[in-house]
A = this chain, B = another copy of it.
Amino acid sequence: MYKELLEQIETNQFKEVKSALVEMHVQDIADLLEQVDPPKNLVKVFKLLPKDMGAEVFSYIESDIQKKLVDALSDKDLSFLVEEMYIDDAVDFVAEMPANIVERTLKASTKETRQLINKYLGYGPETAGSIMTPEFIDLKEQMTKEACLKRIKKLGEDVETINVLYVTDSARVLKGVLSIRQLLLADDDTTVGEIMHDNVVFAETSTDQEEISNLFKQYDFLALPIVDSEKRLVGIVTIDDVIEVIEEETTEDISKMAATTPNEKPYLKTSTFKLWINRVPWLVLLLVSSTFTGLIISKNETLLSTGIYGILLTACMPMIMGTGGNAGGQASATIIRSIVLNEISFKDLFKVMWKEFRLSLLLGFSLAVVCFGKIMLIDGLLFNTPGVDWLSALVISAAMFLAIVMAKIVGCTLPLIAKKCKLDPAVMASPFITTILDTLSLLVYCQLALAFLM
């Protein structure tokens, strides 16, 4: 992509580049700029853009390229850029920059913008306040359709969306909401108060962004009003920001489910050291907790190393633990996802347990049959492993059955309990549950073997 354009840039054909750029989508221009090398050309290409387009493109550029650009811009250009950007984009930009650039940026901004940016930087991370924008259209109840259209025409250029319009009273308290469609379809003499919805769904600046995205999913909103503690309208969150939140939260969940600390930056832009920090504590924790399995094995050394069944029992150990771990991982992943999608909550604990219990009987029985067959046929007939007979195969299959039942029960309950305790259910995924199940299933396995095979 952009091969021709990149060549034109290399060969300084900036006139051709400029006429191509104005036809492009801003997001594509941002992609292009990220591929331009050396930085000198980057600045040249950026300056080809009409100024208002430049600000929009800038907000889509990754922060390391933003930094290179800002280093090359004059204070005047920087000032224009900051004023032209939507406040939420400007805040995102400032939040990613090193101190010297932040200082330069704030100095270059108007007092009003500077105050706004500082205010937004004060909202907690992952709150509605941190993702909202103050650029929306507010109307008053008594306004007529014509007055509204005039206001939209006046402010429309600078707001984030005109698709949803907000109604406030003189104290800026949120009173209602209406869509641009309702306004356009209304008769000319209608006032805002007559057509607005007064049963408004809103959130506060401190609301967690995950709750915000749940509201969008529930109501198919395009924008959601955000109010302060006095119910005064201070901003709106738009759907494009919510999609980013959904992606971010999913990445977080998947990371935690794989026992990694989530990372905000893209993989290839994350330093190896940072990745090490994200991964090492979990591995150490899981390694140390494997002390339990080690203990169980050394306590049962006679069982596992002597007698006719010793080898077979040792050889089947990884299979029992592995299957238990996989069965538990299936249950926990399904439950964790259902919790995230608001399909189940702690009150469903017994319903879930009952379902997983019946399921575990079915699965346990199926797997026990396969296990029995595998031991008799593959281990016994095919590879002549010593110790294979119907009794040992039966005992190992019974251990398999019990391991699966335990796995499903543990796998489905722990995420729900975590949720109840205000912990993140995603942490209760496979690696964590596997460690618990390894211990449990090994215990059952050795006890059964001791009872019937010694």
- Give A residues with C-beta under 8 Å from B: 23-25, 27, 149, 152-153, 156-157, 161-163, 180-181, 184-185, 199, 201, 216-220, 222, 239-240, 243, 246-247, 250-251, 253-255, 257-260, 263, 266-268, 272-273, 275-276, 279-280, 282-284, 286-288, 290-291, 293-295, 297-298, 301, 304-306, 310-312, 314-319, 321-323, 325-327, 329-330, 332-338, 341, 343-344, 348, 351-352, 355, 358-359, 362-363, 366-367, 370-371, 374, 378-379, 383, 385-386, 404, 429-431, 434-435, 438, 442
Contacts and interface: CB of A to CB of B under 8 A. Distances in A.
A355 B272 contact: yes
B319 A290 contact: yes
Contact of A163 (B222, B343, B429): B222
Contacts of A358: 272
A385 B304 CA distance: 15
Nearest to A199: B23
Contacts of A251: 337, 341
11 contacts: A222-B222, A243-B246, A251-B341, A259-B326, A268-B355, A275-B334, A283-B323, A283-B326, A293-B315, A294-B379, A298-B385
B254 A333 contact: yes
A131 B294 CA distance: 53
How many chain copies does the complex carry?
2
A317 B315 contact: no
A232 to B, nearest CB: 23
A114 to B, nearest CB: 27
Contacts of A258: 257, 329-330, 332-334, 429-430
Contacts of A218: 27
Contacts of A315: 293-295, 297-298
A332 B259 CA distance: 11
B287 A323 contact: yes
Contact of A314 (B162, B287, B304): B304
B27 A220 contact: yes
A374 B287 contact: yes
Contact of A216 (B181, B243, B431): B243
A412 to B, nearest CB: 10
Nearest to A329: B258
Contacts of A371: 287
A319 B294 contact: yes
Nearest to A354: B272
A290 to B, nearest CB: 4
Contact of A279 (B273, B317, B330): B330
B370 A288 contact: yes
Given A280-B366, A359-B275, A385-B298, A286 B27 contact: no
Given A286-B323, A322-B290, A185 B157 contact: yes
A366 B311 CA distance: 33
B156 A181 contact: yes
Contact of A322 (B180, B267, B336, B438): B438
Nearest to A305: B305
